[in-house]
Structure 1
């Protein structure tokens, strides 16, 4: 598989990675053209020439993944030059590190009017989403034509388990009932976000019930409820916008796990 085909595949799979690409090479350098995929743990595919310069580029790519920001780095491959690195090639290398961050994967627990409004916003933002519900008449491909999957089970907990929640999952609980069971199930997984539509009184009741069932205070502190940004939302569409706004805001603020300490020692080629 060509490297850029792999980049396209990783992007389709909603993975987080960086693409380091030589954009300028002056004088003597190991390579004048080269691309390299860098993952969060420092592993790579492809090359920009090897040696100490590549080692530094990998380190800078991992840092870029931690901040979520692309950047350009430049190295003088001359141990005798000011600000040069310990190489003898003598040339200069500029590399663009492009960060590809995963998009939130929405899990809409509930298939009613609010979920439908959220799905339309997800479509316009090109965010993947799946539907979880216990009602065959609501959770249909006709109502949610762009859903990646629709999970329906008369036991909504089983439907949610079938969604295979991951650290990219943003779970939005907008069920007609059974909020406590859905929330308890969601909190068993290392998800990126969980929010629940509920009044303040209902939130207190649900939290007390879940604490009596073994859910910790720390777990409950991760729950966004009442859900959404404070924008005075009243209509279904306005509430959907406030929820999506909160998810967008949090997804931009969330940083990948800090792997600096675990970045393996890379051989200098």
Structure 2
């Protein structure tokens, strides 16, 4: 598989990685052209020339992935030059590091009006998503042609468990009548985000019910409810904008927190 084909595959799979590419070289260098995929753990595919320079590029790629920011690095391959690295080639090389960050993976629990509106917005943003519902006539490929998966079961808990929730999952709950079951199920997993459509009174009622069933206050603190940014939403489409806006905000804040932890 060609390297750029692998880049396309990783992008489709919603993976996070960096692509390092030589954009300029002067004088004697190991390579004048070259591309290299670098993963979070520093493993690579391809090369930008090997040796100490490549080692430094890998380190910079890992930092760029954690920061979520692309950048350009330059090395003088001359151990006698000011700011040079311990190499004898003598030339200089500039490398563009492009970061490919995974998009939020949406789990939309509810295929009704709000779920449909959120899915349409996810289509526009090219966010991967799946639909979970207990109604066969609502959760259909005709309604959600671009959904990665449809999970339908009369038991909403079984339907949601089939979605294999994980730390990449951004779960938005808006079922017709089983929000409490969906929420309790989602809280079993280390999801990146859990939100539930509900009025403040309804949210309190659901939270008290779940507490009586053994859900801890610490778990419930993770839940965004009422869901979405407060923008005075009225229609399903406006509610969807608030939900996606909140998901984007949470996703950005998680990246920023990682950077702060690294810089301690």
Shorter-chain TM-score category?
over 0.9
Higher relative contact order (CA 8 A, sep 6+): 1
The answer for the alignment partner of 2:52 in structure 1 is 52
Decide which moves more: 200-209 or 34-43: 200-209
1:228 counterpart = 2:228:
yes
The answer for the alignment partner of 1:267 in structure 2 is none
Q: Distance in 2 between matches of 1:74 and 1:8?
A: 26
> Superposed, which structure 2 residues align to 1:1-269 within 5 Å?
1-255=1-255
Q: Distance in 2 between matches of 1:174 and 1:127?
A: 19
Q: Distance in 1 between matches of 2:56 and 2:209?
A: 52
- Contact conserved, 1:66 with 1:257, CA < 8 A, in 2? no
Q: What's the C-alpha RMSD, in Å, of the aligned pairs?
A: 1.8
Q: Deviations over 1:188-243 (max 9, x none)?
A: 12221111001112222222222333333332221111111111111211111111
- Contact conserved, 1:65 with 1:256, CA < 8 A, in 2? no
How far residue 258 of structure 1 moved from its aligned partner, in angstroms, is: 5.5
TM-score, normalised on structure 2? 0.94
User: 1:84 is paired with a residue of what secondary structure?
Assistant: coil
- Unaligned 5+ runs, structure 2: none
Q: 1:251 to 1:30 in 2, by over 3 A?
A: same
- Unaligned 5+ runs, structure 1: 263-269
How far residue 129 of structure 1 moved from its aligned partner, in angstroms, is: 1.4
TM-score, normalised on structure 1? 0.92
The answer for the alignment partner of 1:265 in structure 2 is none
Aligned length: 261
Q: Distance in 1 between matches of 2:79 and 2:6?
A: 35
Deviating runs (4+, > 4 A) in structure 1?
A: 256-259
Q: Distance in 1 between matches of 2:243 and 2:89?
A: 54
Q: Deviations over 1:98-123 (max 9, x none)?
A: 00011111111011111111111111
User: 2:203 is paired with a residue of what secondary structure?
Assistant: helix
- Contact conserved, 1:134 with 1:159, CA < 8 A, in 2? yes
Q: Deviations over 1:153-212 (max 9, x none)?
A: 010010001111222211110101111111111111222111100111222222222233
